[in-house]
């Protein structure tokens, strides 16, 4: 794979994109948002940028602002907008984040840069036939939900494309299991890492085995989290403390564009 080139104006583009995205309600941290923008701008693959789980549009705005600047096409934003984790259906059975989502992408000036699908990912993936350069998964965090999101779209990820999953280091069963079991343990993937609660890896079917030890190092610290979150239940007391101690062993600091590029270019940069 050729060395990744970082656009000279990327920092300014990320600053502007975050200035718009930070105004949108959501659970994406600045360092996470900047990583998403970096991946969108720099991933050395062709195809669409697909977002599974949009909520009110925080990551959508971040990605769309970057995509608009670099001419990367529309963000495919998939979400039924009825999340039981984020909306109170006991108060309002018809609660939906869709109107807020549409308003927020309109306010950010990127509505024309977004292709919204108010649907479950399995319904969209059933008819999907396009290559994907960046697959961003932030949908149903149960194991079945995350596995369905991954399995439905992963077959379309282009070689050298990237898969990223949110909330892998929070108390949810799906994101961490899919990342460990389907990505870190697979020689189809190359460089991998964490940024706060985002886990990411590059799809390298041609030479992923070169990154096996780098992925194995991550697996050794990430896999022990799975027993804590397997039931998707809130943790308390000693169990909660042990989970936090285990999580503290996972390297998850912010990743600069140059650091991210160097990780993709070298198996030893992990």
Residues noted as catalytic: 141
Could you give the CA distance from residue 270 to residue 259 in angstroms, rounded to a whole number? 10
Residues 6+ apart with CB under 8 A from 88: 95
- Given a contact cutoff of 8 angstroms between Cβ atoms, the answer to whether 49 and 75 are in contact is yes
d(CA 91, CA 167): 26
Per-position DSSP letters for the chain, written without gaps between them: -PPPPPPTTHHHHHHHHHHHHTTS-SS--HHHHHHHHHHHHH-S--SEEEEE--TTSHHHHHHHHHHHHHT---EEEE--S--TTTS-TTT-TT--SHHHHHHHHHHTT-GGGEEEE-S-HHHHHTT--S-EEEEEE-S--SHHHHHHHHHHHGGGEEEEEEEEES-TTSS-HHHHHHIIIIIIT-TTEEEEEEETTEEEEEE-TTTGGGGHHHHHHHHHHHGGGHHHHTT-----HHHHHHHHHHHTTS------HHHHHHHHH-TT--
Rg (CA), the chain: 18
**CA 228 to CA 235: how far, in whole Å?**
8
């Amino acid at each position: 794979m050729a060395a990744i080139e970082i656009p000279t104006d990327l920092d300014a583009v990320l600053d502007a994109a975050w200035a718009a995205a930070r105004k949108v309600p959501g659970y994406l941290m600045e360092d996470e948002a900047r990583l998403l923008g970096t991946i969108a701008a720099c991933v050395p693959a062709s195809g669409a940028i697909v977002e599974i789980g949009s909520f009110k549009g925080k990551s959508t705005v971040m990605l769309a602002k970057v995509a608009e600047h670099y001419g990367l096409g529309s963000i495919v934003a998939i979400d039924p907008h009825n999340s039981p984790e984020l909306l109170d259906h006991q108060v309002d059975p018809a609660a939906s984040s869709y109107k807020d989502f549409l308003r927020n992408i309109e306010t950010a000036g990127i509505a024309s840069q977004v292709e919204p699908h108010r649907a479950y990912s399995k319904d969209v993936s059933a008819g999907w036939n396009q290559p994907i350069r960046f697959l961003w998964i932030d949908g149903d965090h149960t194991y079945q939900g995350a596995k369905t999101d991954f399995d439905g779209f992963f077959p379309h990820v282009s070689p050298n494309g990237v898969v990223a999953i949110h909330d892998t280091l929070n108390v949810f069963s799906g994101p961490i299991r899919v990342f460990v079991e389907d990505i870190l343990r697979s020689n189809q993937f190359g460089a991998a890492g964490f940024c706060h609660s985002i886990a990411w890896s590059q799809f390298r079917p041609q030479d992923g085995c070169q990154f096996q030890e780098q992925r194995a190092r991550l697996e050794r610290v990430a896999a022990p989290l799975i027993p804590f979150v397997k039931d998707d239940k809130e943790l308390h007391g000693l169990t909660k403390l042990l989970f936090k101690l285990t999580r503290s062993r996972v390297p998850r600091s912010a990743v600069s564009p140059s650091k991210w590029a160097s990780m993709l270019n070298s198996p030893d940069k992990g």
